Structure 1
Amino acid sequence: ELSEEDEMLIRNGGAGIPMGSDGKPWPLLPPIAPKHVGKKCLVLDLDETLVHINIMPIPDPDFVVPVQIEHQWHNMYVQKRPGVDEFLRQMGELYEVVVYTASLGSYADPVMDHLDIYNAVSHRL
């Protein structure tokens, strides 16, 4: 079952800023956390930047994520980009890190749960 946010993204064509019932845009990020005051915000794209995803089996994936797409379960075979773990760790020390994807949260959240081993990512969009 899709979240209300995912349903809204689908209704809006998967793009744009989510709007409230009053017609005002929702903020994309919460107020800045005290630990990030004075830091710049680094926004990274998930797909093809941090990871490469295959729906077909591949040899030696870094991890496999089951995802429900249109009421059918599919395995997503994930390859992390070389050096991504250390990159995220270092960027998390320097920036407020935000990871963006145009994909649905039902896919992106499990991938990020596996990928963000140092809890370096502050927000997921």
Structure 2
Amino acid sequence: MSCRHALWCLCPERVNCSGQGLTEVPSALPNTTGILLLNTNHLASVSTASFQHLPELIELDLSGNRLGALHIGATLPLLQELILSHNALALLPGLFQALGQLKELNLRGNRLRTLPEKAFEGLTGLKDLDLSD
């Protein structure tokens, strides 16, 4: 099933849009989405505002895209896992406070050389942070 055609599996809380050649986040995602796989697409820039209509989102996989920019403008109150590995991120968007429930953050394989001083401030529940490669 393809997310381009708004066809969803029997478990609408898990939406798989992997490898679809997407250049932007689909807008017609079910608001019950809990796990969203957007890995291996062609996304160059993403804002948390794109996911604001997904109040149950707990896991977001954006790995293997072309992300050069990540904008945290909207709160994702339940998000626990954010996978941003193997993108082109050279800078982090300052504070991740809008993602207060985050437990896992994977930034492996990006172009990060420095981190903002208070980038992870407010992430008191963060258990796993991967900045390797």
Taking structure 1 as the reference length, what is the TM-score of the superposition? Answer: 0.25
Greater helix fraction, Structure 1 or Structure 2: 1
Taking structure 2 as the reference length, what is the TM-score of the superposition? Answer: 0.24
The higher-RCO structure (CA 8 Å, 6+ apart) is 1
Q: Which has the larger radius of gyration?
A: 1
Greater strand fraction, Structure 1 or Structure 2: 1
